[in-house]
Amino acid sequence: MNLGLEGKVALIGGASRGLGRAAAEELAAEGATVVVCARTAAAVQAAADAIRAAAGVPTLGLACDLSVAGEAERVVGEAVARFGRVDVLVTNTGGPPAGRFEAHSADTWRGAVAQLLESVLGLTRAVLPGMKARHWGRIVNVTSIAVKQPVDDLILSNSIRAAVTGFARTLANEVAAHGITVNNVMPGYTATDRLIELARRVAAQRGLDPAVALSAWNEEIPMGRIGEPREFAALVAFLASERASYITGTSISVDGGWIRSLL
């Protein structure tokens, strides 16, 4: 299937590793120019270099902390200065700290809001004028299965990613007439560094080996295994494509069947 992404410019957050890196690689494999951003300069440059070598497309690596006010706008500005536009935006950041409600201070909540919600608002605000002018755009937000079926010990993620979902669903209606789609992808348990960190936390709380925690998650998933980042990235690329032009306002899970609800 030709996704119609060749020559499009895609900006992907949190792209030095994990889900963001997989999304950037998939978009590049489809011919998109990619701008990857993450907090660590050396890591994001290494990712950009590796993607360029593998896919043969122009790339740009930008070090930034999207939770800091003004950084989202700066990143979009640098992408536009280099490549002239941003056609595809994939919003993604690392996960906030795990823990129950009483474990988190007001400052921790404010930091999580800046990381998960305000970064999305800033990036979206910066790319929308250009997308409207060209009458074409794709915004794909990486949220989590937690917005549909809350995950124990992840109250920050459960709460704030749900706010992103509400924002995206509303924005989708506002910009649909401009040829812009807005969708969310909800990854489930996927083989990333974040999952290993969560497994270690669960294991420490329960006096288990981390491998036991991972095995328990496998048993919760109807497919019987944890997902691979490339499986998540395939959906991101499709939603970013020309072929997904009539899909907007949706939240789609990539979870091996973990979510039990009907819709």
- The reported pLDDT for the residue numbered 179 is 98
- The reported pLDDT for the residue numbered 4 is 94
Q: Please tell me the distance from the alpha carbon of residue 186 to that of residue 184, in angstroms, as a whole number.
A: 6
- The reported pLDDT for the residue numbered 206 is 80
Query: For the chain, where do the domains classified as CATH 3.40.50.720 start and end?
Result: 9-189+229-254
9-189+229-254 carries CATH number 3.60.130.10: no
- The reported pLDDT for the residue numbered 15 is 96
Nearest to 54 by CA among 76, 22, 85: 22
- The reported pLDDT for the residue numbered 63 is 97
- The reported pLDDT for the residue numbered 195 is 83
- The reported pLDDT for the residue numbered 208 is 77
- The reported pLDDT for the residue numbered 202 is 79
Q: Please tell me the distance from the alpha carbon of residue 231 to that of residue 212, in angstroms, as a whole number.
A: 24
Q: What is the mean pLDDT of each run of 10 residues along the chain (263 residues)?
A: 93 96 98 97 97 98 96 97 98 92 96 97 98 98 95 94 98 98 97 85 80 86 96 98 97 96 85
| Residue 37 Cα distances to 11, 14, 15, 16, 79, angstroms | 8, 6, 6, 7, 10
